Amino acid sequence: MSSSSVILVTGGSGLVGQGIKYIIETEPVGSKFGKREGETWVFATSKDGDLKDPKATEAMFEKYKPTHVIHLAALVGGLFKNMKYKLTFLRDNMLINANILESSHNPDGAPRPKIEKVISCLSTCVFPDKVTYPLDENKIHSGPPHESNFGYAHAKRMVDVYNQYVDRQQLILNLKAGELTIWAGAGLGAHDLEDSHVIPGLIHKTYKVKKEIEAGNKDAKLTVAGTGKPLRQFIYSRDLAKLFIWMLREYDDVEPLILSVGEDEEVSIEEVAKAITKAFGIEGQYKFDTSRADGQFRKPATNAKLLSLVGSDFKFTPFDEALQETVDWFLQNYETARTGKK
């Protein structure tokens, strides 16, 4: 990367985009994860244009003239939103991804710098429903994904396919399309009551339960959809941000790379509920709505390839510490946080 690099981050107002912005703004300039002298970082949001529209996407590229792209923008949501709007998740995400990647390899030869590297973002939901665990980078296309995320999963899988063919056809010689798998993080994401990922949604719901308790309803409890038994791996958004920056600097392979904590760090949804209520000072004030779906029971993934490349000195933030930081942030920023309905 040159000293005049321009890094465009799509989805710049989202969970991971804000995590990257935080790291770039707080790490020392010139450090392993910090901004480098002369670099320009652009965190694009929906105000920069509708990425489902190819002309609007191209106009954004013409405006900022990036040399590197970290593509995070997507239509995202929790389990129940994915189940309800499968076609929307498939269509919108395929349009967004196609437009970003087309503008990145600049097939019409627009007068702007060539893109040196594109990092695109997948999700654990791309992996097959029926597969031998742990998940690894070679199992993405070895069977159909879980029914609950079918639309979103296929849209994300196509990013991998697109990147592989861009690389093979050498549509631009210096495009290095790296990609990764991202887990829902304990970070600064959308805390919508119904449509967000599990941790942000439960944090907002717990906030409201605590307000009820403080108002005199001592029996108020957090209601958690499902049985609480499913297991997930969670990575703190600021840890993930550091790994994105490392990929930008160091990872030059078109093959996917899983960015995650280890498979031995699975946490049950009940453990998440317990930790969140504890962080709010109302430990144990939760119950389960077993009439609602659990979704996929578990999908453990190995981070062995990542650790072999990034080095053993990289440390993940412990789950409870990351969660407490997130709750503290939410309490301090409730009025401006992306909460949907207050």
Alpha-carbon span 4 to 256, nearest angstrom:
27
Contact criterion met (CB below 8 Å) for 335 and 187: no
Tokens describing residue 233: 């791996």
Identify the bridge partners of residue 224 per DSSP, sorted by sequence position: 288
Beta strand 267-268 pairing with 231-232: antiparallel
DSSP of 236-261? -HHHHHHHHHHHHHH---SS-EE---
Contact criterion met (CB below 8 Å) for 93 and 152: yes
Q: Which of 133, 152, 165, 334 is catalytic?
A: 152
CA distances 185 to 66, 179, 232, 235, 263, Å, are 27, 17, 11, 5, 15
**207 included as an active-site residue:** no
Residues 6+ apart with CB under 8 A from 116: 1, 5, 67, 68, 174, 175, 176
Active site residues: 152
